[in-house]
Structure 1
Amino acid sequence: MEQLKGTGVALVTPFKKDESIDWNALEKVIDHVISGGVDYVVSLGTTGETPTLSSEEKLDVMKFTFEKVNKRVPVVVGIGDYNTRDVVKRLETCPLDEAAAILSVAPYYSKPSQEGLFQHYKAVAAASPKPVILYNVPGRTGRNMTAQTTLRLAKEVENIVAMKEASGDMIQCMQIIKDKPKDFLVVSGDDALAFPQIATGMDGLISVAANYFAKDVADLVRAALASDNAKARELHYKLQESFDLMFEENNPAGVKAFMAEGGLIENVFRLPVVPVSAGLQSRIAAFNKNYK
């Protein structure tokens, strides 16, 4: 899993004004992030607005991403749900030969117990033909996966190889890092916390901001992993305001606003996600204009 150290980017799904998928823009984004130096891409994460994509569209996006990445960097595929049976079925039927790993979000809405989370991931790992990355994001799922549950999965389930930690709880993150198996990766799911989290022992970042600020985010993570704290600190504070703006109202509305200002995509969404407010959009435009 060395290939999943460093910077991954959770790709957006660009839409045309009629809300159909903008394939030309998606290809442009893929080329943009790879040329910017990211180490791998994540297809079909929440930032890709997957809850609004049909099953056919998800399959098309995954295949298109494999084709356009063309083995330049590894591709991780997001496959997660609150229905364990559905996740297992998709893992058994999706064409995942070209995937490096699966990123599977903790079940949302159902708010299972810690034992329920353990049994869900145990079933997912048993069905997956690829290594599984856990994804803890309680702000979206409604249930935090504790350090104890994460460590139990890391130690007892062979096909679970990594964790994307987006709880924002630094104490919990350090508990996982301190007691994890040596070959188990822990990556940040928070752009704004990546620098301090890598300093405590995390192995990288799965980024939203890298959809647009690919080079600076990748350079920040690379410097932090190399313990070049002066350079990492400089880039962290250079990007800090963009992180604040990007997540002020909604993800992916924030990052798409930046990308639209930069001419990469149209600022179009599928409900219930809508563009950021006019006031926030003007502040993003001002930041973009002054960013070097």
Structure 2
Amino acid sequence: MIREKLRGTGVALVTPFKEDLSVDYDALKKLLDFVLDGGVNYLVINGTTAESVTTTTEEKAEILRLVKQYVNGRVPLVYGIGGNNTQHVLELLQTTDLDGITAILSVSPYYNKPSQQGIYQHYLQVANASPVPVILYNVPGRTGSNVTAETTLRLALHDNIIGVKEASGNIEQCMAIAKHKPEGFMLISGDDLLTVPMAAFGAEGVISVLANAFPDKFSKMIELSLNYQFKEATALLNDFVDINPLMYEEGNPVGVKAVLERFGVCSPFVRLPLVEASAGLKDRVYKLL
């Protein structure tokens, strides 16, 4: 059952780059070993944390091919396909090799700020066209518009829409989804620090940035939360409270790549318009580490 496959910790993989900003495929394998050894439950490829807006079509295809081959069925894979041009998203669904992919993660249309009816119709088109199940992705801080609980619950009735990654930061909205969602529809946290409290009212895990760098401790925290061991989970959560804001201070994945550099997993390089973490940010991150 897909719900069981995607319960727990999903990691939104970064894309490692070399100093010349070409994709570092050797470092990507190293990252895969690092997070899989840390016990994450599934991987998310080509999400926003992967700098998907600045990787080419050819690079996306090669990253997908490599991850599928290297992981070889050890954990489920989720692939990011979304955008603010509905027709283009439908074309991507037709041309992307989704063999071996458990679900797609599809971000709500950004920048053009559609109405709730526009968001609803966009996702209906995506769900009808997708050969694999769809996870909605609501992240108003990036898209400029919120997918309301009412719209999410309307979409949850579609047979091919299996869950939502909620990164609105609005706990009341998340609670409304949890209370009224149909059985089998997954509420997935998109905010690393809110996952423990969200588990208390029905969230079934997280798609995480921090799990790139702290896969073992983060996965343990989520496991404890899903087993309602909140005292123990909160003790681990407190270790992330100070470092989490630094992950986003200069843009995502700038902060987490600085941590991964420190751990010897991959380089800190990012593509413009993002720039590598400043010396000041690195200094504060390293002190916390």
TM-score by length of 1: 0.97
CA distance in 1, matches of 2:274, 2:191: 20
Question: How far does residue 261 in structure 1 lie from its aligned partner after superposition?
Answer: 1.1
Aligned length: 287
* Aligned residue identity for 1:54: T
Equivalences for residues 175-190 of structure 1 within 5 A: 175-190=176-191
Percent of aligned positions with the same letter in both sequences?
A: 51
SS in 1 for 2:188: strand
CA distance in 2, matches of 1:248, 1:274: 12
Question: How far does residue 55 in structure 1 lie from its aligned partner after superposition?
Answer: 0.9
Partner of 1:123: 125
* Aligned residue identity for 1:194: T
* Aligned residue identity for 1:188: S
Partner of 1:218: 219
CA distance in 2, matches of 1:273, 1:263: 21
Partner of 2:33: 31
Partner of 2:164: 163
SS in 1 for 2:242: helix
Partner of 2:21: 19
- 2:46–2:60 Cα contact (<8 Å) kept: yes
CA distance in 2, matches of 1:95, 1:277: 37
Question: How far does residue 247 in structure 1 lie from its aligned partner after superposition?
Answer: 2.1
* Aligned residue identity for 2:199: I
Question: How far does residue 253 in structure 1 lie from its aligned partner after superposition?
Answer: 0.3
Partner of 2:142: 140
CA distance in 1, matches of 2:73, 2:165: 23
* Aligned residue identity for 1:52: T
- Alpha-carbon RMSD: 0.8
Question: How far does residue 158 in structure 1 lie from its aligned partner after superposition?
Answer: 1.1
Bigger Cα displacement from structure 2, 91-100 vs 39-48: 91-100
Question: How far does residue 266 in structure 1 lie from its aligned partner after superposition?
Answer: 0.7
Equivalences for residues 227-242 of structure 1 within 5 A: 227-242=228-243
CA distance in 2, matches of 1:28, 1:243: 23
CA distance in 2, matches of 1:109, 1:86: 15
Partner of 2:9: 7
CA distance in 1, matches of 2:128, 2:93: 10
Q: 1:112 aligns with which of 114, 119, 122?
A: 114
Question: How far does residue 246 in structure 1 lie from its aligned partner after superposition?
Answer: 1.4
Gaps of at least 5 residues in structure 1 are none
SS in 1 for 2:172: helix
SS in 2 for 1:42: strand
SS in 1 for 2:78: strand
Question: How far does residue 30 in structure 1 lie from its aligned partner after superposition?
Answer: 0.7
Question: How far does residue 151 in structure 1 lie from its aligned partner after superposition?
Answer: 0.1
Partner of 1:92: 94
- 2:128–2:160 Cα contact (<8 Å) kept: yes
CA distance in 1, matches of 2:59, 2:113: 28
* Aligned residue identity for 2:218: V
Once the two structures are superposed, residues 190-228 of structure 1 have per-residue CA deviations (whole angstroms, 9 ceiling, x without a partner) of 111111111121010000000010001100000000001
Once the two structures are superposed, residues 134-170 of structure 1 have per-residue CA deviations (whole angstroms, 9 ceiling, x without a partner) of 0000100000000000000002x11000100000000
Query: Is 1:72 aligned to residue 74 of structure 2?
Result: yes
Partner of 1:249: 250
Gaps of at least 5 residues in structure 2 are none
TM-score by length of 2: 0.98
Query: Is 1:203 aligned to residue 208 of structure 2?
Result: no
Bigger Cα displacement from structure 2, 239-248 vs 23-32: 239-248
CA distance in 2, matches of 1:226, 1:190: 19
Question: How far does residue 244 in structure 1 lie from its aligned partner after superposition?
Answer: 2.2
Query: Is 1:283 aligned to residue 270 of structure 2?
Result: no
